[in-house]
Chain A
């Protein structure tokens, strides 16, 4: 690969795009003009409200003995202080109780919510609590404690908080001046005079109420959308548009490699996407600080630490790279600009919900979510804006995004090297819904495979319900396996008139293949559990899956095994190692077919936290199915795997497998793979006779 060719192509593509008024306008100019106007209007409304709040009086209550000076300062700050017990008898006692719960109790979140109710129910914007002997301590030159209660989700309370803090500060200045006047040059007293009041603040909203209120998640989403649109239009133009205009072929006959062409185009799209998003960010930031400065009179600030701003900009780089590569690959399939736009809809469909994860209250970046593409970006931006510390997950998020970008770029290069993709011509030769029905030689094609999978997921999702009793748990499992997995698989197979035996690999396995599969199943389970315990720990809260399992374990043993160790292995294997694997083989080859069927198997459980573990198991299952040419060993593997999980006696051992057992399992798994390889020497081609028949007719 020559760097000069790459740079030449990239430079030309950037120039070409900059001269394309349509692309330039939609992806760059329009957002630049639109966002400031939108934000200006929005922030002006917010700003006016804020300013009014600063001018208006808010009622706050005082708990404990309030020094006269503080009360006067509160009044000067446009607050109406009311002693708590004047407002309502016993209010101060109740407030102090809840405050103690928040500060020392076991359920601070509940205490916060109740404190909030106490205040908002009486139209109070905040409270100032003077601890026992406040004035007396100050008189003895000892530090006195005051607690400031405010509601960060309420604008009036936010204004009141600022005013209360200001009043306390002025009171402190007063104390200090008094001290310095009385004891000039007294070192010890001078130190005390720096902060005579120990001020604490308590937010009376639970963290979920707070998160939902913040602007932070929105910014992350905007960044993702800007990077996506920034990549979208140039990518469609440079791949599909170039095909349509007949210029791609001239590039292909020039002495540059296809990899150089893709990388050059990718670099151009990437640069444009990053610049678009950065410009948008800058304009947004400027608008914000301008508006905030104009109306807040310095009391409202929109500021971002340099580190946080740099992180936000930096995460844009791999994000834009990912979108650029995916968009380029997708639009390469299209023969025209218009068709290219059709192919982009799925990208938006996938990216938008992921970008909205940041809007969910209470969701913060952790190691698990840091590997979820797009969602990790949004959550990282959110945590940066909220000033929370998440250096570890942030690094993981960067690494994960860079990895996804590299993989997508590899995919784009692979797509571009395919003759069938590059020389696809004319209308109707691209994606055709009819192709989803196509079957070849009794085996399903990849299109119906994907369609079946998503149909199955959809059915499962709509059938899912809350599990509270054991009966409901049984019903939930039966519904999921029979109606969502087995039924759609059967309907698809019959409708497409598939060769059922070949598609589902319904052949008798060789006996010799059974022992390695059994050993492998036990070893794989141990490794997966170790992976779950040490590498990707499941979240601490009880998931719906665990809720369901708890109920299921109350059943008699035979029913338990039937529901966990027989039904799911049969149904899920028929779908994943039967239909899906068969449908992917002709299109993607054996390796990728195993990988895709494993990933989809991982996703089948509708539980993000279980995806890595189930995907790993899926890889082993796919390998077994192809190696043995039969689905039976895969079902057996799955049964043993689930059977062990369904045996409560083994749980203490399984929950924390000792390192020696993990090491032994790793060796055993490797050994059983080699064993299986020795027993089954060849992998049956997609439509060839299976191993069993080969043995019957030597």
Chain B
């Protein structure tokens, strides 16, 4: 469960003429077993929103909670319940997949034998066993992404945050990721996903929020918002909204 209420983030950026409101007064809720899509063009505030949820950024105003835990008041506990993955998050090239997963397992504070069990489990889940002891730097792009996903769920988090997870991936690798995201829903996890790819929303998401210039223009279940607006695709909806705004 993710709850966001009136989230606002103001940056100070002299190049944008002083104060810059990256997100303003946004509220939404993501429920377990559903995928929530945050759709918006570049610079809409998607990454800022997700970084606030992941406790990397502190909101200027508003509150957000992961499974009921306030991200500002108890960031460590919130982080423990959260898996975070972006298209840009990397892996340690000089560690092997086994070492990489083990390192993060330990960072999340799991007991030693539980970590070892989890490492083996994930190596099998992502079919990484043949490469378990090869440096990550020598793996194919697909396998690297798998290591990254394994890292994301090493602590079996109930909430998952994906920030443009398929950006800059080739189609085959992107497929691995979208399948993984869908699988997370099947396992009853709460998933929030940001993207600027309309088809991804259409294919994956149960709920959607359209973000533009830091504000949510519209949100609700995908089928419902399409019906309300009388459009056949999310793409049409998006452009009509953005044109109005």
Q: Are B95 and A16 in contact (CB under 8 A)?
A: yes
* Inter-chain contacts of A253 with B (CB < 8 A): 54-56, 79, 82, 84
B14 at the interface (CB under 8 A from A): yes
B172 at the interface (CB under 8 A from A): no
Binary contact readout B67-84 vs A (1 if CB under 8 angstroms, 0 otherwise): 000000000110110101
A429 to chain B, nearest CB (A): 9
* Inter-chain contacts of A20 with B (CB < 8 A): 94
Q: Are A252 and B94 in contact (CB under 8 A)?
A: no
B107 at the interface (CB under 8 A from A): yes
* Inter-chain contacts of B14 with A (CB < 8 A): 435, 438, 440, 445
A256 at the interface (CB under 8 A from B): yes
- Name the one of B57, B90, B103 contacting A419, with C-beta atoms under 8 angstroms: B57
Per the 8 Å Cβ criterion, residues 227-259 of A in contact with B are 245-247, 249-257
Binary contact readout A3-24 vs B (1 if CB under 8 angstroms, 0 otherwise): 0010011001001100110000
A423 at the interface (CB under 8 A from B): yes
Closest A residue, CB atoms, query B79: A255
* Inter-chain contacts of B79 with A (CB < 8 A): 253-255
B126 at the interface (CB under 8 A from A): no
* Inter-chain contacts of A650 with B (CB < 8 A): none
Closest B residue, CB atoms, query A425: B88
A420 at the interface (CB under 8 A from B): yes
* Inter-chain contacts of A245 with B (CB < 8 A): 90, 92-93
- Name the one of A250, A422, A435, A445 contacting B84, with C-beta atoms under 8 angstroms: A250
* Inter-chain contacts of B93 with A (CB < 8 A): 245
Per the 8 Å Cβ criterion, residues 418-432 of A in contact with B are 419-420, 422-423
* Inter-chain contacts of A8 with B (CB < 8 A): 103, 106-107
* Inter-chain contacts of B92 with A (CB < 8 A): 12, 16, 245, 247
B91 at the interface (CB under 8 A from A): yes
Per the 8 Å Cβ criterion, residues 147-198 of B in contact with A are 148, 151
Closest A residue, CB atoms, query B80: A255
* Inter-chain contacts of B80 with A (CB < 8 A): 255
Report the Cα distance A249→B108, complex, angstroms. 15
Closest B residue, CB atoms, query A9: B107
Report the Cα distance A417→B18, complex, angstroms. 21
Closest B residue, CB atoms, query A247: B90
Q: A249-B89, A253-B56, A253-B82 are in contact. Are A420 and B11 (CB under 8 A)?
A: yes
B21 at the interface (CB under 8 A from A): no
A517 to chain B, nearest CB (A): 35
B109 at the interface (CB under 8 A from A): yes
Report the Cα distance A253→B56, complex, angstroms. 7
Q: Are A12 and B94 in contact (CB under 8 A)?
A: no
Report the Cα distance A287→B151, complex, angstroms. 47
* Inter-chain contacts of B103 with A (CB < 8 A): 8, 12
Report the Cα distance A252→B75, complex, angstroms. 11
* Inter-chain contacts of B131 with A (CB < 8 A): none
Q: A19-B94, A246-B89, A247-B90 are in contact. Are A254 and B107 (CB under 8 A)?
A: yes
Closest A residue, CB atoms, query B11: A420
- Name the one of B57, B90, B107 contacting A255, with C-beta atoms under 8 angstroms: B107
How many A residues face the partner with a CB closer than 8 A?
28
Closest B residue, CB atoms, query A441: B18
Report the Cα distance A67→B19, complex, angstroms. 94
B225 at the interface (CB under 8 A from A): no
Report the Cα distance A459→B78, complex, angstroms. 55
Closest A residue, CB atoms, query B87: A246
Most B-side CB within 10 Å, residue of A8, A12, A250, A420: A250
Total A-B residue pairs with C-beta atoms closer than 8 Å? 78
* Inter-chain contacts of A12 with B (CB < 8 A): 92, 95, 103
B156 to chain A, nearest CB (A): 14
B241 at the interface (CB under 8 A from A): no
* Inter-chain contacts of A445 with B (CB < 8 A): 14
Per the 8 Å Cβ criterion, residues 253-275 of A in contact with B are 253-257
Closest A residue, CB atoms, query B154: A254
B28 at the interface (CB under 8 A from A): no
* Inter-chain contacts of A435 with B (CB < 8 A): 14
Q: Are B76 and A255 in contact (CB under 8 A)?
A: yes
B25 to chain A, nearest CB (A): 20
Q: Are B151 and A255 in contact (CB under 8 A)?
A: no
Q: Are B107 and A419 in contact (CB under 8 A)?
A: no
B86 at the interface (CB under 8 A from A): yes
B26 at the interface (CB under 8 A from A): no
Per the 8 Å Cβ criterion, residues 472-527 of A in contact with B are none
B106 to chain A, nearest CB (A): 5
* Inter-chain contacts of A440 with B (CB < 8 A): 14, 18
Most B-side CB within 10 Å, residue of A5, A20, A419: A419
Binary contact readout A513-545 vs B (1 if CB under 8 angstroms, 0 otherwise): 000000000000000000000000000000000
Q: Are A255 and B86 in contact (CB under 8 A)?
A: no
* Inter-chain contacts of A419 with B (CB < 8 A): 56-58
Q: A245-B90, A423-B57 are in contact. Are A5 and B95 (CB under 8 A)?
A: no
Report the Cα distance A20→B56, complex, angstroms. 28
B129 at the interface (CB under 8 A from A): no
Per the 8 Å Cβ criterion, residues 139-153 of B in contact with A are 148, 151
Per the 8 Å Cβ criterion, residues 326-347 of A in contact with B are none
Per the 8 Å Cβ criterion, residues 384-432 of A in contact with B are 419-420, 422-423
A341 to chain B, nearest CB (A): 19
Q: A8-B103, A253-B56, A253-B79 are in contact. Are A16 and B94 (CB under 8 A)?
A: yes
Q: Are A249 and B91 in contact (CB under 8 A)?
A: no
B226 at the interface (CB under 8 A from A): no
Q: Are A250 and B94 in contact (CB under 8 A)?
A: no
B241 to chain A, nearest CB (A): 27
Closest A residue, CB atoms, query B163: A249
- Name the one of B55, B58, B89, B95 contacting A250, with C-beta atoms under 8 angstroms: B89
Q: Are A5 and B107 in contact (CB under 8 A)?
A: yes
* Inter-chain contacts of A9 with B (CB < 8 A): 107
- Name the one of A16, A252, A420 contacting B56, with C-beta atoms under 8 angstroms: A252
B108 to chain A, nearest CB (A): 6
Q: Are B91 and A256 in contact (CB under 8 A)?
A: no
A414 to chain B, nearest CB (A): 15
Q: Are A250 and B57 in contact (CB under 8 A)?
A: no
Report the Cα distance A334→B86, complex, angstroms. 21
Report the Cα distance A445→B14, complex, angstroms. 11
B51 at the interface (CB under 8 A from A): yes
Report the Cα distance A420→B51, complex, angstroms. 13
Binary contact readout B107-124 vs A (1 if CB under 8 angstroms, 0 otherwise): 111000000000000000
A236 to chain B, nearest CB (A): 15
Most A-side CB within 10 Å, residue of B57, B86, B92, B109: B92
* Inter-chain contacts of A16 with B (CB < 8 A): 92, 94-95
7 closest A-B pairs by beta carbon, nearest first, are A246-B90, A19-B94, A253-B84, A245-B90, A254-B107, A255-B79, A255-B80
Could you give 9 example pairs across A and B, Cβ below 8 Å?
A5-B107, A8-B107, A19-B94, A20-B94, A249-B56, A250-B148, A251-B107, A253-B55, A253-B79
List 11 additional contacts besides A255-B77, A438-B14; criterion CB under 8 Å: A9-B107, A15-B95, A245-B92, A246-B86, A250-B90, A252-B54, A254-B104, A256-B76, A419-B58, A435-B14, A440-B14
